[in-house]
Structure 1
Amino acid sequence: MIAALFALMAAAPPLEYQWPAGRAQTYAVTVAWGEGDDQETTRERWVLRVVEPASAEQGAMLSWTRQLLALEVGGVRVPLESENALALTERRDARGRVSERQPYPNEPLAYGRLLRYLDVELPGREVAPGGVWEYAVPADDVMGALAWRYAVVDVTAERVMVRGEARLEGAVVATATWELEPVTGWARRGTVRAEGLVMPGDEEGQPMPVTVRLEAVPVPKL
């Protein structure tokens, strides 16, 4: 048993993203704003696609297609039009660091702040249970720098489980749990909860918690 574990660790690739040309993955996503009776939840379909692999000069060009499928408020679910898909591009390196990103056409600041919690920068080295890595997300015009710290929970030949927390000025403002593909770094499923964000379109600008859950699916589903 011990020998097998050491053999697995010796053969483990570095935990980083692989961006092969043409790869695509569909995710079933829920985004829940607020809590209790006032919670508003959207059910969405996200598709990540590699448009252009990385080169020696720049990172890979990726396309994110986001489609709203339904809105739930007070236990009532309202289907949304299927023609509302939005496709945006970004460029990332093997660590997941974003060098270019097309902004959302509506509410770019609100969506940009949410993405600060959904982006995951990988360590680019081999990992084992109990290992940790840290990185910082620079401040923007509204929000200070985020300090992320991730811990490795489990590593097998099939998956890597990690758990992280983000701090803003020393206070924990977000937690995240991810199951990743060990060879490619792509997410299989994840849950991220962040505090004090403003829901896009909220005219009152009331800060509230948001919880995002996503799961890779072979075919689109609600």
Structure 2
Amino acid sequence: MKTHCVNSPTRLTDDALLARVHDLARCERRTTVELIAHLAEMDRRRLHLAEGCSSLFTYCTEVLHFSEHAAYNRIECARVARRFPLVLEKLAEGSVHLTAVRLLSPHLTPDNHAELLDHARHLGKRGVELLVASLRPLPDVPSLVRRLPLQPAPMDADQSMLAEMEVTGASLTGMEVRGTTTEGRRPGGPVVGEPIRVAPAPAATVKPLAPERY
């Protein structure tokens, strides 16, 4: 039997719709925090082994069917929350998100975790990355000069035709290299080979090394 588990919002007024969205966001945060707390205890007991999974990550992706990114974020938050329960409070109130906790996790200590979580309040991912960069500034990336690949010289019409015939395995029988067919007809115009494409270099990524340095 087909059931509808989602109430249609189309009949709600604007004010009711906005209020409902806020309520659902709070419910989602509360549910996520509860899940993280349970994953932390499950990780402590290593119950994933009894379920036939070699790791909690495998359990989250293959049994709970989370994406790799979602599983990784939740597991990292669960392990941080075991050390610093304040993380669960911050997640529940919505002042920090899962990605922020994951990025901060290597830098949290008993002395600084409350302060860092306050500094990360309502910051996006980029803002948290800058906060992390201010904690442990990295040296500038050394300048690098790379030699660009040489552009092959363009082939003339005859060379282009030969290359194309060799690649496709076409027979040269009855055809002259200079473009004369077996019936004495010449092609209507010169054959121009396709330009040789050089694979572009991979796009560079920009990450903060320290405040105002990337």
Greater helix percent: which structure? Answer: 2
Q: Do both proteins adopt the same fold according to a TM-score greater than 0.5, normalized to the shorter chain?
A: no
Greater strand percent: which structure? Answer: 1
Structure number, greater radius of gyration: 2
TM superposition score category, shorter chain reference? under 0.3
Q: Could you say which structure has the greater relative contact order, defined with CA pairs below 8 angstroms and 6 or more residues apart?
A: 1
Q: TM-score, normalised by structure 2?
A: 0.21
